[in-house]
Amino acid sequence: MKAAIFRGPNQPLEIGDIQLSDPGPREVVVRTACAGICHSDLHFVEGTYPMAAPAVLGHESAGVVERVGSAVDYVEPGDHVITCLSVFCGYCEHCLSGHPARCGGRVTQRGPDEPPRLTLDGQPVQQFANLSSFAEKMLVHENAIVKIREDMPLDRAALIGCGVLTGAGAALRTARVEPGTTVAVIGCGGVGLAAINGAAIAGAGRIIAIDRLASKLELARRFGATDVIDASEGDPVEQVKQIEKRGVHYAFEAIGLKQTAEQAWAMLRTGGVATVIGMIPLGQNIEIPGIDMLREKTLQGSTMGSNRFRIDMPRLVEFYLNGKLELDALISSRIKLEEINQAMDALKTGEVARQVIMFEGTS
pLDDT in tens, 284-320: 999 999 898 899 999 999 999 999 999 999 999 999 9
Domain ranges of the chain: 2-161+307-358, 176-301
pLDDT of residue 349: 85
Beta strands in the chain (DSSP E): 2-6, 14-17, 19-20, 27-37, 55-56, 60-68, 80-83, 118-120, 123-124, 126-127, 137-141, 145-147, 182-186, 206-211, 227-230, 248-253, 268-276, 298-301, 331-335, 354-358
Q: Find the range with the poorest average confidence among 20-24, 45-49, 180-184.
A: 45-49
Whole-angstrom distance, CA of residue 101 vs CA of residue 89: 10
Cβ-based neighbour number of residue 189 at 10 Å: 26
Whole-angstrom distance, CA of residue 52 vs CA of residue 41: 13
Q: Is the pLDDT of residue 361 over 80?
A: no
pLDDT in tens, 167-176: 999 999 999 9
Which residues, 6 or more positions from 112, have their beta carbon under 8 angstroms from its beta carbon? none
Q: Rounded to the nearest 10 degrees, what angle do helices 214-222 and 190-202 cross at? A: 30
Domain 2-161+307-358 grouped into CATH 3.10.20.740: no
What is the fold, at CATH topology level, of the domain defined by 176-301? Answer: Rossmann fold (3.40.50)
Average pLDDT on 85-113 reads 92
Return the percentage of the chain with pLDDT > 90, whole number: 92
Least Cα distance to 4 among 359, 304, 362 occurs for: 359
Q: Is the pLDDT of residue 80 over 80?
A: yes
How confident is the prediction for the chain on average, in pLDDT?
96
pLDDT in tens, 320-356: 999 999 999 999 999 999 999 999 999 888 778 899 9
pLDDT of residue 362: 63
Whole-angstrom distance, CA of residue 170 vs CA of residue 195: 7
